[in-house]
């Protein structure tokens, strides 16, 4: 059974289509890497699947539910971890987790127990009573990770989840994702950090100008693009390798002038 089903998904802003007909299916227990240049439509796709954007063309089902018809239930059963989010910085992380936990229907006791344990495991316990206005970007990202995982969702949408994290936290998150996959969870992972996407993804989807231009395992993509690393595959399929090289040369010329 597919846990994600997208058929001819289109989305426009001010008459310009940012998604031009996305077709995508995904089953349980896998990590999907979703990559593309800035403005390709990655975040828009994720926000539609998460029920945040409700005006679009086509059909989108998550866990068998139409995101238009059952947006609240979809949100209860998924985890959404964006790069940036409104954290209500006047709150402490404990207060914020109580707020988000209630939205997911968790009891006060479960929120208190899970929240505290997760704050400890993410090295935030000694700062649990601080207002998040005093938190660094990496600390805030840890709170977002906790709030998106605390209710043990069936699908987790991650949009640049490693932003601001230190090296140890990045390693921890990668291991968490692998263990969630083993538990049968599905993760939809969008990031510009190509080496991480390459290492953790079972399947990689490359989107450019609102359309999927490649979809497969890293081995399949290597064979089709005749390139080694995901970074080189990305540049080859989006025709950005020559442009990047020329731009770099121009920058050096300006610096040397």
pLDDT in tens, 191-220: 888 888 888 999 999 999 999 998 999 888
Question: Which residue reads 């007909």 in tokens?
Answer: 21
Inform me whether the pLDDT recorded for 185 exceeds 70: yes
pTM: 0.86
Inform me whether the pLDDT recorded for 77 exceeds 70: yes
Average pLDDT over residues 31-36: 93
What angle, rounded to 10 degrees, do the helices at 167-182 and 137-149 form? 10
pLDDT computed for residue 251 by the predictor? 67
pLDDT computed for residue 38 by the predictor? 86
pLDDT computed for residue 88 by the predictor? 83
**Percent of all residues in the chain with a pLDDT value above 70, rounded to a whole number:** 89
Q: What is the pLDDT of residues 56-65, one digit of tens each?
A: 999 999 999 9
Alpha-carbon span 167 to 241, nearest angstrom: 28
Q: What is the bridge-based pairing of β-strands 65-66 and 16-26?
A: unpaired
Q: Which domains does the chain have, with CATH numbers?
A: 4-216 (3.40.50.300), 220-257 (no CATH)
Alpha-carbon span 126 to 139, nearest angstrom: 12
């Amino acid at each position: 059974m597919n846990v994600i089903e997208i058929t001819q998904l289109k989305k426009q802003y001010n008459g310009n289509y940012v998604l031009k007909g996305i077709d995508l299916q995904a089953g349980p227990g896998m990590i999907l890497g979703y990559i593309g240049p800035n403005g390709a439509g990655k975040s828009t796709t994720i926000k539609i699947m998460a029920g945040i954007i409700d005006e679009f063309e086509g059909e989108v089902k998550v866990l068998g539910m139409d995101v238009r018809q059952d947006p609240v239930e979809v949100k209860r059963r998924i985890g959404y971890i964006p790069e940036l989010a409104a954290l209500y910085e006047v709150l402490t992380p404990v207060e914020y987790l109580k707020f988000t936990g209630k939205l997911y229907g968790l009891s006060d006791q479960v929120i208190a127990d899970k929240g505290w344990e997760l704050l400890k495991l993410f090295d935030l316990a000694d700062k649990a009573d601080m207002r998040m206005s005093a938190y660094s970007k990496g600390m805030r990202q840890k709170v977002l990770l906790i709030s998106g995982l605390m209710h043990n969702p069936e699908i987790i949408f991650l949009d640049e989840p490693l932003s601001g994290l230190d090296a140890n936290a990045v390693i921890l998150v990668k291991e968490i994702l692998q263990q969630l996959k083993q538990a049968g969870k599905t993760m939809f992972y969008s990031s510009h950090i190509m080496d991480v996407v390459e290492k953790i993804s079972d399947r990689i989807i490359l989107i450019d100008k609102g359309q999927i231009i490649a979809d497969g395992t890293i081995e399949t993509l290597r064979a089709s693009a005749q390139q080694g690393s995901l970074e080189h595959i990305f540049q080859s399929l989006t025709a950005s390798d020559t442009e990047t090289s020329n731009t770099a040369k121009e920058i050096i010329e300006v610096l040397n002038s």
